[in-house]
Amino acid sequence: MYKRNFTFLLSLFLLNIIFHVNVITAKQDYVPTNFDLNHFPKNILVGSNTGGRSHLKPMLDIAAILSERGHNVILLTRGNYTPSSEYPTIKQISLGPTINIKDIKDLKQLVNKKFDFTALSKSLEFNVKLYESTFEKFKDAAIDNNIDLFICYAIINDACLDVAHTLKKPAVGLLSFLNLMDSKPYKSDPIYNCNISLENESFMERFKCTVIQPLRMLSIMYPILNQLNDLRNQLGAEPVFVSSKRLAQSSLIFIDTFFGFEVK
Ligand SMILES: *[C@@H]1O[C@H](CO)[C@@H](O)[C@H](O)[C@H]1NC(C)=O
Ligand SMILES: *[C@@H]1O[C@H](CO)[C@@H](O)[C@H](O)[C@H]1NC(C)=O
């Protein structure tokens, strides 16, 4: 009994370490805005492995402003996003054909099904399959275009984050899963089949939503993340458990939450 309690507490502790990232809010000392600023145009790579408007639009809106200020922006994503009409100043390098999940055996069963953490595992497996070729494409594009800054969608886009880390370039992340960055006992996420607010939920429901479901997700993700680390080792990228977590420790992350999310 004692041992079981210990194992349980240990898993809670580990879970907290893995998922909880301290979101640093302006703790640095004040730096004057004109201090040692370098106004030369930068080469900026905006990357999303999967593409899709909900991933691309927030990043491209930022990229368009950077481009207006004289920086060179290149988009790396699948398909031919032809940003010409909406984002005429941003050129694209294609990562290959658009992913249509209806055409992919393991993913087509997810269409019309509620997206939860069990579905996430299929997407992660798919990410592993594409990882090596995507990593090479991001790396080649970054070297060929002398990239100074990466803006990466930070979920299921490990190649973008890993190439930035490998080339020791700064990266800015964008994601829409707040729980990964800032887990709290009073809120959850539909990905766990739970309500966003646990305010009026029973103890059992809170326990399920903040402990059991994240642990189940972790146990599903663990072997897939290990496979990804084997690939990282082969490609000379530093292994990490969750690459968006590494990003959060050293960089700027924008989180697109339930409020103000554009659905198109
Ligand atoms: C979530 O909240 C709704 C109403 O606010 C409630 O009916 C439901 O049982 C709650 N739990 C889940 C898992 O949806
Ligand atoms: C919880 O219940 C209170 C009182 O009924 C209500 O005012 C509040 O909006 C509820 N919270 C949620 C998230 O449903």
Domain that holds residue 158: 43-255
Q: Which ligand places an atom closest to the C-alpha of 187?
A: 2
Residue 56 lies inside a defined structural domain of this protein: yes
CB 211 within 8 A of CB 16: no
Per-residue model confidence as pLDDT tens digits over 147-173: 999 999 988 899 999 999 999 999 999
Concatenated DSSP letters of 191-260: GGT--SB-TT--HHHHHIIIIIHHHHHHHHHHHHHHHHHHHHHHHTPPP-S-HHHHHHHHSEEEE--STT
> pLDDT-derived band of residue 135, with 50, 70 and 90 as boundaries?
very high
Residue 111 lies inside a defined structural domain of this protein: yes
Q: Which ligand places an atom closest to the C-alpha of 197?
A: 2
Ligand 1 centre distance from Cα of residue 196 (Å):
9
pLDDT of 110: 63
- Ligand 2 in contact with 186 (CB < 6 A)? no
Q: How many domains does the chain have?
A: 1
Which CATH number belongs to the domain containing residue 236 in this structure?
Answer: 3.40.50
Residue 33 lies inside a defined structural domain of this protein: no
Residue 157 lies inside a defined structural domain of this protein: yes
Residue 143 lies inside a defined structural domain of this protein: yes
Residue 22 lies inside a defined structural domain of this protein: no
Residue 88 lies inside a defined structural domain of this protein: yes
Per-residue model confidence as pLDDT tens digits over 40-80: 899 999 999 887 777 888 899 999 999 999 999 999 998 88
Q: Is the pLDDT of residue 226 over 50?
A: yes
pLDDT of 248: 79
Residue 172 lies inside a defined structural domain of this protein: yes
Question: What does pTM read for this prediction?
Answer: 0.77
Return d(Cα 257, Cα 60) in angstroms, integer.
Answer: 17
Quickly list H helices, the chain.
Answer: 2-19, 53-68, 105-108, 117-144, 158-166, 178-181, 203-207, 213-235, 243-250
Ligand 1 centre distance from Cα of residue 197 (Å):
9
